[in-house]
Structure 1
Amino acid sequence: MINPIIVVAYAVHPDLKSSEAIVNKNWLDVSATKGNRLLVLSAFHNYRFKGEEIQLVKKLKTSAALYKISKKKKGIDKFVYSVVNKIFKIVFSSNQTLHNIVWIKKQSRILAKTITNKDVVWSRILPIMSLAPVLNVYAKKPFPFIVNVNDPIHVNSFKKNNLNSEQKLFLSTKNKAQAWTFPSSKLADKMANNYNLDRARCFVIPHAMRELANLYKRDIKKQHINVLYTGTFYKSAFTDEFKKSLIAFNKLECAKVVNFTFVLSQFDEESVIWLKESIPNGTLKFKLERVEVLELVKKADCMFVVDSILHSELLKGKLIEALSFGVPVFAVTYQDSIMDKVVKAYGSVSAYQDIEDDILNKMKLFVANVNNEAWLGTFYNQRINALDKISEDYIANATNLITTFAYQRFYKVQQETIQSPIQLNWP
């Protein structure tokens, strides 16, 4: 029997357009279509997922209205909201915004009324407040729950003797949650070490993506190479070495066949200047709808994915998205990072930010190989093994194993037969 799952995830696409929201929606889609019964409590709507069908259960009108006002830059309603928010924080000594408190209280009531002794709850963070309704209800009547963590929680400011409010909230799951899931083993290691979690109950589930019937196949008669980057411009990732390599590459004869397109979701004026100086003939696009981005991915011959030195434990959703289309990947990263590990397993190229001219030399080599039948044949064969590890069946099976483990561990059903899915530790 597959236990019904209640998912508390503030960020779910299309209510929110963040990368976190897209990652969560992909996991929900895969889990639902593989047989799971899901109730989802998200930012502005609550849904039931039944296979390919999504049913609206409830609109959170007040939460949606407050969120919209809170994001305004000016206006009378924004001014009133700001004043009320400040008063609220002072009176109740709260670190949460008015909008957050309203959402947490509403979803806490809904969860308390809905949950049964057959359900397992998954809280998917970030944002960390996805945990709050779960912990509120748990305090009154405990139940099995699992915490999914896609990104570290203020890892750069982590001090065991001086945790901030979000870190304290996560730490409170230590003796309550039955399991924690992460998209990479390195992130699981770091979070388990920081918060003294039971590493044997920290499992890895890579980001989910829907499978495509037709994967990328290069037309070797085509001369031009479409290189695509999508997502946030991370200043810590777009380094001087990367810029120097792009400038040098674009002066070469082989660069004339390469079309660079950068689709930016988060950026500033400095980011635009950086790209225009690095790739004068590149195409810049801003804040496209997701369906438009996916159409560009379908036409790409190579996906740029770029790592910061601060991201070595992370598995980027954009990387999994590229893999799901079967597109060759050029990773600008660091040795032994999670991105490096996955891209190598996938049969594509990792170039290292901290080795002089490594990016430039590997870009030249990639352009030389992209129409080489032997190189393409090796890539096509190698990518199959990597895709098996992020397949819909793999993600759904891992989800079910951990859900069953959490339920049995909580209720101590046939305790002597409970099996921990310890094999779930890739990448």
Structure 2
Amino acid sequence: MTNPIIVVAYAVHPDQKSSEAIVNKNWLDISTTKGNTLLVLSAFHNYRFKGEEIQLVKKLNTSAVFYKISKKKKGIDKLLYSIVNKIFKIVFGSNQTLQNTVWINKQSRILEKIITTDDVVWSRVLPTLSLAPVLNVYDKNPFPFVVNVNDPINVNTFNKNNLNSEQKLFLETKNKAQAWTFPSSKLADRMANNYNLDRARCFVIPHAMREVVKLYTRDIIKQRINILYAGTFYKSAFTDELKNSLIAFNKLDCAKGVNFTFVLSQFDDESVTWLKESIPNCTLKFKLEREEVLELLKKADCMFVVDSILHSELLKGKLIEALSFGVPVFAVTYQDSIMDKVVKTYGSISAYQDIEDDILNKMKLFVSNINNKEWLSTFYNQRTNALGKISENYIADATNLVTTFAYQRFYKEQQETIQAPKQLNWP
């Protein structure tokens, strides 16, 4: 049994609908079912988890109301909030909104009141807002804490001589946090280099996904192949090479047995047009609830995932979700990206955006393989390797190792050297 954990995570599903929120909720579920005692401070609710029991500790009504109003496009309450928020920021010279400031102050008071010398705090980023209450309380009374970072902070705007407010907030953890965790080794490398973190204390814990009892098996008698994409339409990822490959593939005879379904969470009219031009017969669905997406995933024969050149260091939650169901993956990515590394370990197919016709040729290969008993048998065996690296037990054990390391280092670093767990560096 490890030390009790206090988690400060602004984004937790279902209060928030983002991929960050889903990843955080899965990690919380795994940590609690594996025996950890957790107190969770999130955007609108604070919960205490103990085993299978979940107790509502506090409901943050003001934060919830401000958040709902701030997301409106118009209305008298939206106008009034905008005016008050603007006055607040001018008067107090704050980089935070009124809504965020209320949340930070409330959670800071709660954290300061409840923390004990047995606890280890985990702050889960993004958003960097999750760090603010932790740093506020730490400055008054230090304690062991760990920072989890799922995505780069303002990936395209890093300049160590001109950091923005979010980057400055993260930089404050450099000499305070005992450890940092990331979903991939490449992201850990980048963040350690950018912020001059101790790389030996930067650990890799893949995105957490709940285990599925029945993994995918292909019925090769079934004629049609269901290919599913779910998530944001990233314009930097849906390139001309991908579009031309999809157009060419859908003119082939083998494409007649393939159903493409795209479930889009963030998109615009241009995105919809792009898909209709590339795959005339594709099925488009918009902003489904998570449970609806999972039902589609259960019926899929392939998860279609797409990388931008800007995403080479990232581990996508939708990729790990597909792995957890044992579904074959067709990854449109770049050589040596994190997605490429994971998909190869898993036994599926990576096609490269920057190699002419590679996507088209590998799509034809995949359609042929999916009904090949020998290929399926090899895939079923090989996916076991990847599944072991993202299993609930692995995630829970890795979390416990880092928690224990943080606690021991905080309280004993002046007396002895605490050995860091070195095996946590995949993918």
Q: Same fold (TM over 0.5)?
A: yes
Shift of 1:147: 0.3
Q: Which residue of 2 aligns with 1:359?
A: 359
Q: What secondary structure is seen at the aligned counterpart in 2 of 1:264?
A: strand
CA distance in 2, matches of 1:51, 1:271: 43
CA distance in 1, matches of 2:138, 2:78: 34
The 5-angstrom pairing of residues 16-165 of structure 1 reads 16-165=16-165
The 5-angstrom pairing of residues 27-426 of structure 1 reads 27-412=27-412, 415-416=415-416, 418-426=418-426
Shift of 1:57: 1.1
Shift of 1:413: 7.2
Q: What secondary structure is seen at the aligned counterpart in 1 of 2:7?
A: strand
- 4+ residue stretches of structure 1 with deviation over 3 A? 413-417
Q: What secondary structure is seen at the aligned counterpart in 2 of 1:155?
A: coil
Shift of 1:417: 6.6
The one-letter amino acid paired with 1:142 is P
Query: Contact between 1:234 and 1:308, CA under 8 Å: does it hold in 2?
Result: yes
Q: What secondary structure is seen at the aligned counterpart in 2 of 1:148?
A: strand
Shift of 1:154: 1.1
What TM-score do you get using the length of structure 1 for normalisation?
A: 0.99
Task: String of CA shifts for 1:309-345, please: whole Å, max 9, x gaps.
Answer: 0000000000000000000000000000000000000
Query: Contact between 1:409 and 1:415, CA under 8 Å: does it hold in 2?
Result: no
CA RMSD of aligned residues (A): 0.9
CA distance in 2, matches of 1:281, 1:240: 19
Q: Which residue of 1 aligns with 2:4?
A: 4
Shift of 1:49: 1.6
CA distance in 2, matches of 1:172, 1:31: 27
Shift of 1:418: 2.7
What TM-score do you get using the length of structure 2 for normalisation?
A: 0.99
CA distance in 2, matches of 1:52, 1:280: 47
Query: Contact between 1:408 and 1:415, CA under 8 Å: does it hold in 2?
Result: no
The one-letter amino acid paired with 1:127 is P
The one-letter amino acid paired with 1:305 is V
The one-letter amino acid paired with 1:201 is R
The one-letter amino acid paired with 1:19 is S
Task: String of CA shifts for 1:349-384, please: whole Å, max 9, x gaps.
Answer: 000000011000000000011010000000000000
The one-letter amino acid paired with 2:259 is N
Instruction: Give the number of aligned pairs.
Output: 427
CA distance in 2, matches of 1:145, 1:2: 14
Task: String of CA shifts for 1:23-54, please: whole Å, max 9, x gaps.
Answer: 00000001110111110000000111222332
Shift of 1:237: 0.4
CA distance in 2, matches of 1:79, 1:416: 57
Q: What secondary structure is seen at the aligned counterpart in 1 of 2:350?
A: strand
The one-letter amino acid paired with 1:174 is K
The one-letter amino acid paired with 2:363 is M
CA distance in 2, matches of 1:81, 1:303: 42
Shift of 1:95: 1.0
The one-letter amino acid paired with 1:107 is Q
Task: String of CA shifts for 1:115-136, please: whole Å, max 9, x gaps.
Answer: 0000000000000010000000
The one-letter amino acid paired with 1:378 is T
Name stretches of at least 5 consecutive residues in structure 1 with no aligned partner. Answer: none
CA distance in 2, matches of 1:418, 1:352: 42
Task: String of CA shifts for 1:391-419, please: whole Å, max 9, x gaps.
Answer: 00000000000000000000007954732
CA distance in 2, matches of 1:155, 1:209: 25
Name stretches of at least 5 consecutive residues in structure 2 with no aligned partner. Answer: none
Q: What secondary structure is seen at the aligned counterpart in 1 of 2:156?
A: helix
Aligned identity (percent) is 85
Task: String of CA shifts for 1:154-190, please: whole Å, max 9, x gaps.
Answer: 1211111110111000001000000000000000000
Query: Contact between 1:206 and 1:426, CA under 8 Å: does it hold in 2?
Result: yes
Query: Contact between 1:408 and 1:414, CA under 8 Å: does it hold in 2?
Result: no
CA distance in 2, matches of 1:63, 1:414: 40
